[in-house]
Amino acid sequence: MRIALDAMGSDGAPAIEVQGAVEASLDHSCDIVLVGNEDLLKKELEKYPKKGNIEIIHTPEYISMHDPPVLALRQKKESSLLVALRKLKAGEVDAVVSAGNTGAVMVGSRIILGIMQGISRPALAQALPTIGGKVVLLDLGANVDCQVRHLCDFALMGIAYSHYALGVGNPRVGLINIGEEMVKGSSVLKQTFQILSKIEGIQFVGNVEPNGVFGGEADVVVCDGFVGNIILKTAESVAKFVGNFMKEQLLKSSMNRLGAVLARSALQELKKTVNPNEYPGAPLLGVQGIVIALHGASLPLGVANGIRGAVKAVNSNLLGHIAENIKKFSCKEITEIEEEKSIYNLDILVNENNKD
């Protein structure tokens, strides 16, 4: 198995990507292809005498965090991200991992790889910690405005990811809302509630409030990208605040410091649980290929876990199971919903790219 890593994407590129790739390569579960500036990557790799099978594909360009995604795709066709995605499209690698510009990852994946048959829109998913387990939250920002069809598709894709990538037996599906009652929320949420309730074979638990996401009320929680992104960033901020607050309080007195020593193992476990680098990245579900997006501020551990997440997604045939779910759980109510046009006119983008 070959995993392509956009080695120029993160805030600390390429050092962070190279170190993460080396860590993952020692598992010997895959060959890793570093895509980026060859001179810089060779220089970083020389720091690690012990490593698995890693190769380099040189690219003269990269897409920065500040580049407008659509413009960058037009002007930087030999960037590390686009070259990696084209390698995936050609079947030369089995997955792509990137800690780069998330907008470029999403738009580039849709244009180069295409959307899976039966999927209205791709969605970014993320496994988050709950009391006693993990919850898959989607969408996290790929789609700010969503219609009923999109939310239903997110649920079916989330079930496949939860079951086959995270090992949840029969994932419970919830719909983010401001209340548990089915009459709450917008017309889109009300209609989505009704449709998900009618689909035989899925375990729909109804509306879930934000506190229920982390309370373990569902294994898959569906929302539009705006709401999902807010939830994710709020959770990260709260976790950081709690960690800093606890550290400050534990250093206030000798008694507190003694308590910290006694509770060290529990505190270390808490730190590990809320650390986003401990999780296997955010898969872009619904495109015709395994693409894992990582946070721009990822550490080497996060990059390594993103690569491991990609390996697991490939080994579990995640794409095949998503396709199966779309066919298996499709119902008249979903198929009759008119698909909303994308926020990007992908046909125009493709035509313009072909002209250049």
Indicate the CATH number for domain 1-114+287-316. 3.40.718.10
Q: How many CA atoms lie within 13 A of 354 on its CB side?
A: 8
Residue 26 has pLDDT above 50, yes or no: yes
Neighbour tally for 333: CB within 10 Å = 16
Residues 195-232 as b/e (b if ≥16 CB within 10 A, e otherwise) read bbeebeebebbbbbebebbbeebbbbbbbbbebbbebb
Q: Is 125-278+317-341 the same fold as 1-114+287-316?
A: yes
Angle between helices 102-112 and 80-89 (to 10 degrees): 30
Q: What is the pLDDT of residue 235?
A: 80
Place of tokens 């795709």: 73
Q: Where are the domains of the chain?
A: 1-114+287-316, 125-278+317-341
**DSSP single-letter state for residue 99:** -
Q: How many CA atoms lie within 13 A of 259 on its CB side?
A: 10
Indicate the CATH number for domain 125-278+317-341. 3.40.718.10
| pLDDT tens-digit readout, 172-230 | 999 999 888 877 888 999 999 999 988 888 899 999 998 888 888 999 999 999 999 89
| pLDDT tens-digit readout, 35-66 | 999 999 999 999 999 999 999 999 999 999 88
